[in-house]
């Protein structure tokens, strides 16, 4: 098996996905190991000297002025993890846990955290063996990083708490025994190196931004299919318009729509029926495009974050110094994930509006009420639009920013927090809701274009339609719709619609 070599500098977002979801194993780069060992030796020398350094020879948070004798160093670090591992709520899913583990390794290997190679290798072994600590999702305010969730991760290395191993929940000690590992003892600074940083929120955010790009392409496909079902006109996608307002996202989306509807007999027949469409069709490049630009910005921020050192204090062996700073503060992720939630919520909002037009016979240009024959006896697609409306309404509440809602902790020593963890968690929820909204639009639009036969769809939209119809049939009369929606959600989530379309028309922008 090919291993991903980690050096703390070159990790990519796609690498995180490979490790988190595809089980790829990791190995430490030899060139980086020397930096880890140098940092650990520096910490040991400071403890021997009795030098006053936060979190190494002092207590934590508001207890920073309390000196800790050298013989209590190990107890200090283990007590830190035991006391801080107090999260609540459901545990993170496996892919998020693996992303967190990977990102923690990638930051520690830089050698600025003072961790020993032995402890770092224990975390590598957990990841490679598939020992996944149960990390409760609630408990971080994103200030001194993700202290609470990362403490649950770190405590498992000591044999504390439960893990999932080979599909079973068990005590960490039992999993280690089965995997041929032993609990470790922590040295000076190591507990703080393991639990202080932005790694948990970054793990969630990294997987979310990766998924969001596929969802954004799916949204363009859904919009193009709805455009044809509603006999929309093509003028709003003319490249000349977008050169006069050259936002990259806007230009990409307009290009995608043109590619998807190329060769459409529906568009050709109805292109003179009106001069313009409603905003949910006409302004797709501007709305989807603005969200695209937001995703690009967030991806840049996450690329920086996953290769950063975010604990405290930071050890600079070359200078013989430890500097207590604020790299643990989650504000860059908090703002990014708040922006992410808004951008994705808007993709859902405009999608729901297109679905609403499809089912409204007063606005759908000849389509039957609620897209079903014999409407009245049949309700057709009336209620899927309700579901989409419920989801986008939920997203409007969730899109309220977390980062503006600071709350003091640690006896006001930590008097401004980022709320980055909750920003990431709710951003992920918004993303999942948008997948469902798009699934409903695609299902509805496919039903709509069936009423436009025998006119042919565009090159890309016809592939999307055939992909949908291979798994979900045309609805002749009322039937149990839930399984069809669930099937569509799977297709949106696994990217199968995007893959099918891109196999036909080439990679979408």
Question: Which sequence positions are flagged as catalytic?
Answer: 54
Structure tokens at 339: 């922006």
Neighbours of 219 (CB within 10 A): 30
Q: Longest Cα pair distance anywhere in the chain, in angstroms?
A: 86
Q: How far apart are CA 223 and CA 354, in angstroms?
A: 8
Cβ-contact 117, 40 below 8 angstroms: yes
Q: Give the CA distances from residue 477 to residues 21, 26, 358, 366, in Å, rounded to whole numbers and listed in that order.
A: 40, 53, 17, 18
In three-state secondary structure terms, 138 is strand
Extended strands (E) in 319-366: 321-323
State how beta strands 88-91 and 168-171 pair.
unpaired
Kind plus residue range of the DSSP H or E element containing 52:
none
Q: How far apart are CA 237 and CA 285, in angstroms?
A: 7
State how beta strands 88-91 and 136-138 pair.
antiparallel
Phi/psi class of residue 151: alpha, beta or left (left: φ > 0; alpha: ψ in -120 to 50)? alpha
Q: What are phi and psi of 446, to 5 degrees?
A: -60, -40
| Closest C-alpha to 449, from 310, 260, 321, 311 | 260
């Amino acid at each position: 098996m090919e291993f991903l070599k980690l050096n703390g500098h070159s990790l990519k977002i796609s690498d995180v996905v490979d490790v988190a979801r595809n089980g790829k194993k990791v190995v430490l780069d030899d060139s980086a190991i020397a930096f880890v060992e140098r940092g650990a030796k520096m910490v040991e020398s400071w403890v021997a000297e009795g030098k006053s350094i936060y979190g190494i020879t002092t207590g934590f948070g508001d207890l920073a002025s309390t000196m800790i004798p050298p013989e209590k160093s190990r107890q200090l670090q283990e007590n830190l993890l035991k006391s801080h591992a107090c999260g609540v709520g459901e545990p993170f899913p496996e892919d998020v846990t693996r992303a967190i583990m990977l990102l923690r390794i990638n930051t520690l290997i830089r050698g600025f955290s003072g961790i020993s190679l032995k402890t770092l290798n224990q975390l590598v072994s957990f990841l490679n063996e598939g020992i996944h600590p149960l990390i409760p999702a609630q408990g971080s305010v994103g200030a001194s990083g993700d202290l609470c969730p990362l403490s649950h991760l770190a405590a498992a290395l000591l044999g504390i708490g439960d893990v999932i191993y080979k599909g079973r929940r068990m005590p960490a000690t039992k999993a280690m025994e089965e995997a041929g590992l032993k609990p470790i003892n922590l040295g000076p600074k190591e507990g703080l190196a393991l639990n202080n940083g932005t790694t948990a929120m970054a793990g969630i955010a990294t997987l979310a931004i990766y998924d969001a790009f596929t969802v954004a392409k799916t949204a363009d496909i859904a919009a193009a299919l709805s455009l044809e079902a509603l006999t929309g006109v093509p003028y709003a996608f003319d490249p000349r318009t977008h050169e006069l307002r050259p936002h990259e996202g806007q230009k990409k989306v307009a290009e995608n729509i043109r590619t998807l509807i190329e060769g459409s007999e529906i568009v050709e027949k109805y292109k003179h029926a009106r001069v313009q469409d409603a905003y949910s069709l006409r302004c797709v490049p501007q709305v989807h495009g603005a969200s695209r630009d937001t995703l690009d910005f967030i991806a840049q921020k996450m690329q920086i974050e996953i290769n950063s050192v975010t604990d405290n204090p930071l050890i600079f062996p070359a200078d013989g110094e430890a500097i207590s700073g604020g790299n643990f503060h989650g504000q860059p992720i908090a703002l990014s994930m708040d922006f992410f939630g808004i951008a994705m919520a808007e993709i859902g909002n405009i999608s729901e509006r297109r679905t609403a037009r499809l089912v409204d016979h007063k606005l759908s240009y000849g389509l039957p009420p609620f897209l079903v024959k014999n409407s009245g006896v049949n309700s057709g697609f009336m209620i899927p639009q309700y579901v989409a409306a419920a989801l986008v309404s939920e997203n409007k509440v969730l899109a309220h920013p977390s980062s503006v809602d600071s709350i003091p902790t640690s006896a006001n020593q930590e008097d401004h927090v980022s709320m980055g963890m909750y920003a990431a968690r709710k951003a992920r929820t918004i993303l999942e809701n948008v997948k469902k909204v798009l699934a409903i639009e695609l299902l509805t639009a496919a039903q709509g274009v069936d009423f436009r036969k025998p006119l042919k769809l565009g090159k890309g939209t016809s592939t999307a339609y055939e992909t949908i119809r291979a798994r979900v049939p045309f609805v002749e009369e009322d039937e149990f719709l839930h399984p069809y929606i669930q099937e569509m959600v799977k297709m949106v989530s696994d990217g199968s619609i995007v893959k099918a379309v891109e196999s036909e028309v080439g990679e979408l922008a």
